[in-house]
């Protein structure tokens, strides 16, 4: 009696399904960062619309940037977002033009500027000083001698190599020195003026307004005194400064940004933390001198004579015959090369704005800082006048060298990102939406189950069980994918799952209707189940393929919440196929062996037979053009 | 006792509705709907959500006062920001935590934050209790554009898939029915004035998947019924296709219902509890679209397919042959009417009656080539 399609072995398929379950939930509980209590491990990642938070979609304006540029832009934006002090911010690229910033919880952080184009400049380092602000905060009024390392900040101010000016760029790959051959530098004459020459940067309208506020905040006298400073205050020789400028430590990053560069540099209370959090574009005026930090060293920088857009390309070069370690080679384009040559000439010959003794490199030449946004990413000493391609050397590793090369290449990304969508969802609203979503899913499932029981009687339990199984599989996959792939469940995702209920329900409708046909034709339940399965399988696969195709296309080519919807729909449809193959069919095959299967009261299939004869009689009286009957 | 209701016949897939034969009626219905839709598109247009025009939505808990108060307060704050900015609409949202949603003209995220802070101060609540959503017009455009790209890609893929899986006429018929679904659903939006948001656009795409799914199931059966149709002269293509529609009718209705149920839940919750947003938008468009999809898979896709097929010479000559034979047949053999039908009855019963435990011999070779099975053949032609 066994059909040639092969003897059904329901047990085997069920075992495979059980195996899948065990594997999935083992993954859920024991892999990829599962931690915490039993319930903690079962938490899917919920989207911000369900837990509350803020989401902002930044869209690149103009021509779509390349993938590398996007990644660099993402890093820059991430740095800017983190710079505003928010916690757990997540910055991801989405499609080829969008960058999505998600910040859970509540905050009103001003992220308006994070999409501004990144500015990169090459500025000569005129002076350096250690950042004492932390120490001052720690030791409030009295400056402890131990913290103030120096009357002379330049002479190895701190123990950490990365903070030493000559080695520079903590975190960015160690010290750097330009070019190969050291040239015996001429004219070490520390020329006359000690005070930084060019004046404070031009103040825009809004900045003037706040500058007055800042003056008020720090006190008119203190501000005047700060303005009068010509060099960084040495706390050892002038202990009163700690109290005199105390108010400066209360300034926010925005307020610090409006201070003239000279004051930012000279007042010890202005620390690197505040400086690096200045709003984006605070030091983007290339004709103004500026202050920026490299590690914990405050550097006073000259006007920008070369900008990032002058860079042709930068490349990380692995150790070879000529160099013993990783270096970064740098090419300039067009007149960028001339500007660069002039800047290096100035640095080597000590012309132009004077580099203070403290700011000089170990070869006695000026250093040039590469400033990205508000931070110095590298500040190599210029060893010789560079008329062609240049190299930056330091204690680079493969990673740090390519990191710097990337920054040099794409850091000056002239792309503006505009916040096209910004959504704040309160925690209460998030909870309400989560509840509503789950409720809708619950109602959907219930309605489908009721319908199934009504229509297919006890066979409804098979449907119900498969829905439950699909649900469990989906949930496990959700938790696991959330941890490994970062898939977050959003409201739209819940909607996707709800829609997939319809797809799942449909696949059993197809199957059962086929089965009904087979039974009506007088097949035994056992062979009917097998035959109905073979025929329905084809249809189910075709139909589900279409749904999955729609989901995949949507996922790949859409933006925003749609992605979550498409992913959920696709995932649920695939899992539904799995359940159809590994659960519904074997269970039906087992069920078909029981006597109750054909009972009208039990299965809802028997009804087809019950009235068959009666129908044959009545059919005669009805003129029908076609006889609708399984053929 | 003697009459079986339509429901029962439907249940058994034996409704015997002449759907293909009346296809002029269905084409007429479709034509009217399409004309209505086009008229509405041009005269009424669509109500675009803020995502397309750009704008700001501020949601304040309802506990702070009445809607008009809140609207006024928001209006005052908005006026401080820009003289030309103003409040457009206000709406009360129900649910466990009722709230008011006030829409204004576009502003920056920063400005929205200022308004949130000002409102929070005014009502003595935390800014964390005020939601806001700032959308630029460009965003809606981007979403729509991407949706259109997805649509094009999806349609291309599906066409290829259908041509490979079925044949090009079926692909054309399926696409025609998809186009109708979209137009019909869009017409509802235009006529009723439901707001179109990016979620709606996405919903449209999902409908496509669903509608196609429906059509695929019907066509699968049509294909099965007509696989070797030209080999015999008993049934025209139209009749075989009609049979397929009837056989899958219950499934279509079932599927439609069963898919509409969860979406109905979605719509109910989305509109009833949350008042607005993704759930409602998606639920609504899916609800409407699935409805039209069920209709078109039965009453539009297959009729179009049959019309196309009858243009195919092979099928056309076959149809003529069947009809000619049939015209000659009854005149010679038996007059149409009761006697002939009576005569077939025992045969029918014999073929279809349950024989538990035994496999009906006549069915076996029918296998996948339905329509060619000997057991049924007397049914259709003799009843004509």
Q: Give the confidence band of B5 by pLDDT, cuts at 50, 70, 90.
A: low
Same domain, B190 and B245: yes
Q: Which residues of A touch B134 (CB under 8 A)?
A: 419, 421-423
Same domain, B234 and B280: yes
B286: domain CATH number is 1.20.1640.10
DSSP 3-state assignment of A605? Answer: coil
Provide the domain limits for residue B77: 55-135
Q: Token digits for B272?
A: 């009833």
- Please classify residue A380 by burial: count the beta carbons closer than 10 Å to its beta carbon, then call 0-12 exposed, 13-18 middle and 19+ buried: buried
Domains recognised in chain A with CATH numbers: 10-45+426-617 (1.20.1640.10), 50-116+418-422 (3.30.70.3400), 120-417 (no CATH)
- B-chain CB neighbours of A428 within 8 Å are 61, 97, 129
Q: Are residues B189 and B284 in the same domain?
A: yes
**What confidence category does residue B276 fall into, taking pLDDT thresholds of 50, 70 and 90?**
low
Q: Are B379 and A538 a contacting pair at CB < 8 A?
A: no
Q: Give the model's pLDDT for residue A163.
A: 28
Q: What is the pLDDT of residues A239-250, one digit of tens each?
A: 777 777 777 777
CA-to-CA distance for A468 and A464, rounded, in angstroms? Answer: 6
> Residue B264 falls within a domain, yes or no?
yes
Q: What's the pLDDT score for residue B97?
A: 64
* Same domain as B220, residue B102: no
B94 inside domain: yes
Task: Choose one of B106, B135, B164: the last residue of a domain.
Answer: B135
* Nearest residue on chain A to B224, alpha-carbon basis: A631
Mean pLDDT over the full length of chain B? 73
Query: In this predicted structure, what is the pLDDT of residue A161?
Result: 28
Distance CA A305, CA A480 (A): 52
Tell which of B108, B135, B162 closes a domain. B135
Name the closest residue on chain B to residue A625, using Cα atoms. Answer: B384
Question: Among A535, A549, A619, whose Cβ lies nearest the Cβ of B158?
Answer: A549
Residue B64 lies in a domain: yes
A193 vs A458, more confident: A458
Q: How far does the CA of residue A62 sit from the closest CA of chain B (Å)?
A: 12
Residues B157 and B129 in one domain: no
Task: Identify whether residues B153 and B62 lie together within a single domain.
Answer: no
Mutate to test the interface with B, among A546, A555, A560, A612 (most CBs of B within 10 A): A546
Do B61 and B180 reside in the same domain of the chain? no
What string of DSSP letters covers A291-312?
EEEETTEEEEEEEEEEEGGGEE
B181 and B292 in contact (C-beta within 8 Å)?
yes
* B303 occurs within a structural domain: yes
Partner residue opposite A111 with nearest CB, options B109, B266, B282? B109
Q: Give me the mean pLDDT over the A605-610 stretch.
A: 56
Query: Contact B13/A427, CB-based, under 8 Å?
Result: no
- Per residue in A406-450, pLDDT (tens digit) is 777 776 666 777 777 777 777 777 777 788 888 888 888 888 888
Cα distances (Å, whole numbers) of residue B253 to A145, A413, B7, B110: 86, 56, 11, 51
- Count A/B contacts: CB-CB distance under 8 Å: 370
What predicted TM-score, i.e. pTM, was given to this entire model?
Answer: 0.66
Give me the number of domains chain B comprises.
Answer: 2
Q: Which of B267, B287, B314 is the last residue of a domain?
A: B314
What pLDDT is recorded for position A599? 64
pLDDT tens-place string over residues A541-598: 887 888 888 888 888 877 666 778 888 888 988 988 888 888 888 888 887 777 666 6
Q: B153-188: per-residue pLDDT in tens?
A: 888 888 888 888 888 888 888 888 888 888 888 888
How many C-beta neighbours within 10 Å does residue B311 have?
Answer: 10
CB–CB contact B109 A543 (8 Å)? no
Same domain flag for B150 and B279: yes
Whether B94 and B18 map to the same domain: the answer is no
Q: What's the pLDDT at A203?
A: 36
**Does residue B28 fall inside a structural domain?**
yes
> Which residue in A106, A494, A613 is closest to B128 by CB distance?
A106
Asked if B120 and B85 sit in the same domain, the reply is yes
User: Do residues B65 and B35 share a domain?
Assistant: no
pLDDT at position A33 is 63
Residues B85 and B223 in one domain: no
Mean pLDDT of all residues belonging to chain A: 72
Nearest-neighbour CA in chain A from B30: distance (Å): 24
Q: Which of A306-310, A542-546, A555-559, A623-627 shows the lowest per-residue confidence on average (mean pLDDT)?
A: A623-627
Say which of A97, A444, A554 has its CB closest to residue B265.
A444
The C-alpha angle with vertex B48 and arms to B42 and B49, in degrees rounded to 5, equals 170
Mutation site for B-interface testing, chosen from A95, A495, A540, A616 by largest number of B Cβ within 10 Å: A495
> Are B302 and B26 spatial neighbours (Cβ–Cβ below 8 Å)?
no
Q: What is the CATH number of the domain that holds B120?
A: 3.30.70.260
Q: For A53-97, what is each residue's pLDDT tens digit?
A: 777 888 887 777 787 778 878 887 887 777 766 767 778 787 777
pLDDT score of B329: 65
SS3 readout for A95-124: CCCEEEEEEECCCCCCCHHHHCCCCEEEEE
Q: Is residue B364 part of a domain?
A: no
The reply to whether B215 falls in a domain is yes
Name the band, by pLDDT with cuts 50, 70 and 90, for residue A518.
Answer: confident
Answer whether residue B229 is part of any domain.
yes
Residue A112: per-residue pLDDT = 64
């Amino acid at each position: 009696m066994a059909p040639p399609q092969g003897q059904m072995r329901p047990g085997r398929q069920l075992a495979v399904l059980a195996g899948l379950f065990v594997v999935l939930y083992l993954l859920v509980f024991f892999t990829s960062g599962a931690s915490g209590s039993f319930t903690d491990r079962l938490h899917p990642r919920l989207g911000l619309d369900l837990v509350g938070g803020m989401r902002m979609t930044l869209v690149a304006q103009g021509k779509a940037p390349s993938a590398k540029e996007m990644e660099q832009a993402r890093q820059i934006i991430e740095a800017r977002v983190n710079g505003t002090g928010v916690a757990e911010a997540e910055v991801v690229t989405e499609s080829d033009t969008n960058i999505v910033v998600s910040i859970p919880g509540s905050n009103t952080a001003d992220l308006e500027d994070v999409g501004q184009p990144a500015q990169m400049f090459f500025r000569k380092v005129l002076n350096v000083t250690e950042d004492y602000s932390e120490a001052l905060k720690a030791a409030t009024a009295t400056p402890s001698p131990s913290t103030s390392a120096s009357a002379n900040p330049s002479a190895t101010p701190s123990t950490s190599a990365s903070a030493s000016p000559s080695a520079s760029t903590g975190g960015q790959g160690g010290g750097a020195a330009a070019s190969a051959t050291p040239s015996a530098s001429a004219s070490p004459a520390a020329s006359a003026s000690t005070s930084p020459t060019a004046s404070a940067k031009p103040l825009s309208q809004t900045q003037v307004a706040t500058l007055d506020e800042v003056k008020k905040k720090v006190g008119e006298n203190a501000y005047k005194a700060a303005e009068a400073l010509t060099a960084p205050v040495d706390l050892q020789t002038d202990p009163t400064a700690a109290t005199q400028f105390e108010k400066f430590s209360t300034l926010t990053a925005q307020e610090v940004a409006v201070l003239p560069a000279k004051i930012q540099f000279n007042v010890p209370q202005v620390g690197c933390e505040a400086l690096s959090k200045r709003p984006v574009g605070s030091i983007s005026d290339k004709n103004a001198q500026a202050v920026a930090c490299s590690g914990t060293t405050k550097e006073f920088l000259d006007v920008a004579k070369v900008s990032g857009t002058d860079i042709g390309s930068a490349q990380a070069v692995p150790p070879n015959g000529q160099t013993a370690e990783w270096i970064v080679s740098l090419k300039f384009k067009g007149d960028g090369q001339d500007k660069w040559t002039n800047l290096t000439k100035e640095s080597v010959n000590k012309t132009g704005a004077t580099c203070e003794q403290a700011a000089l490199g170990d070869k006695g030449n000026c250093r040039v800082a590469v400033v990205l946004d508000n931070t110095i990413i590298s500040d190599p000493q210029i060893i010789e006048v560079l008329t062609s391609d240049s190299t930056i050397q330091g204690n680079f590793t493969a990673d740090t060298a390519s990191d710097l090369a990337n920054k040099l290449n794409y850091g000056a990304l002239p792309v503006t990102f505009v916040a096209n969508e910004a959504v704040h969802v309160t925690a209460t609203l998030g909870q309400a939406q989560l509840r509503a979503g789950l409720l809708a899913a619950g109602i959907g499932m219930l309605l489908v189950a009721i319908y199934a029981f009504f229509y297919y009687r006890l066979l409804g339990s098979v449907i119900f069980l498969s829905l439950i199984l699909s649900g469990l599989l989906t949930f496990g996959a959700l938790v696991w994918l959330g941890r490994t792939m970062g898939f977050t469940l959003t409201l739209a995702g819940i909607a996707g799952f709800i829609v997939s209920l319809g797809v799942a329900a449909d696949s059993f409708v197809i199957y059962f209707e086929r089965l009904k046909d087979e039974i009506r034709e007088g097949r035994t339940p056992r062979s009917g189940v097998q035959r109905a399965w073979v025929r329905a399988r084809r249809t189910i696969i075709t139909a589900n393929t279409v749904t999955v195709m729609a989901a995949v296309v949507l996922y790949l080519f859409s933006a925003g919440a749609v992605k979550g919807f498409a992913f959920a729909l696709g995932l649920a449809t695939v899992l539904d196929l799995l359940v159809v193959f590994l659960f519904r069919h074997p269970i039906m095959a087992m069920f078909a062996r029981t006597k109750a299967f054909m009972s009208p009261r039990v299965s809802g299939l028997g009804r087809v037979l019950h009235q068959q004869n009666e129908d044959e009689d009545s059919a005669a009286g009805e003129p029908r053009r076609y006889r609708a009957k399984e053929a | 006792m003697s009459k079986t209701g339509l429901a029962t016949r439907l249940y058994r897939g034996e409704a015997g509705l002449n759907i293909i034969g009346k296809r002029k009626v269905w084409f007429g219905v479709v034509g009217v709907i399409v004309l209505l839709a086009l008229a509405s598109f041009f005269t009424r247009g669509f109500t675009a959500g803020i995502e397309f025009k750009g704008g700001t939505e501020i949601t304040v808990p309802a506990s702070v006062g009445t809607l008009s108060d809140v609207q006024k307060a928001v209006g005052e704050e908005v006026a401080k920001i820009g003289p030309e900015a103003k409040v457009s609409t206000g709406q009360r949202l129900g649910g466990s935590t009722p709230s008011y949603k006030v829409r204004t003209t576009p502003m920056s995220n920063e400005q929205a934050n200022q308004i949130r802070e000002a409102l929070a101060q005014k009502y003595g609540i935390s800014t964390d209790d005020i939601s806001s959503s700032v959308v630029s017009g460009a965003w809606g455009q981007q979403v729509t554009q991407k949706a259109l790209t997805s649509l094009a890609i999806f349609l291309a893929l599906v066409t290829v898939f259908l041509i490979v899986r079925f044949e090009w006429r079926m692909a054309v018929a399926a696409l025609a029915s998809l186009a109708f679904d979209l137009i019909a659903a869009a017409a509802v939006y235009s006529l009723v004035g439901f707001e179109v948001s990016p979620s709606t656009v996405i919903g449209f795409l999902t409908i496509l998947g669903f509608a196609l799914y429906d059509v695929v199931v019907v066509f699968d059966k049509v294909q099965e019924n007509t696989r070797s149709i030209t080999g015999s002269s008993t049934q025209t293509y139209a009749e075989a296709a009609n049979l397929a529609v009837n056989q899958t009718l219950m499934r279509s209705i079932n599927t439609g219902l069963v898919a509409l149920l969860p979406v109905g839940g979605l719509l109910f919750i989305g509109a009833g509890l949350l008042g607005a947003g993704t759930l409602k938008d998606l639920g609504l468009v899916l609800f409407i679209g699935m409805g039209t999809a069920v209709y078109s898979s039965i009453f539009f896709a297959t009729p179009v397919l049959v019309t196309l097929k009858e243009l195919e010479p092979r099928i056309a000559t076959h149809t003529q042959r069947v009809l000619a034979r049939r015209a000659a047949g009854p005149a010679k053999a038996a007059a149409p009417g009761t006697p002939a039908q009576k005569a077939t009855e025992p045969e029918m019963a014999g073929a279809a009656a349950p024989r538990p435990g035994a496999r009906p011999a006549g069915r076996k070779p029918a296998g996948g080539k339905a329509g060619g099975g000997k057991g049924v053949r007397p049914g259709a032609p003799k009843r004509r």
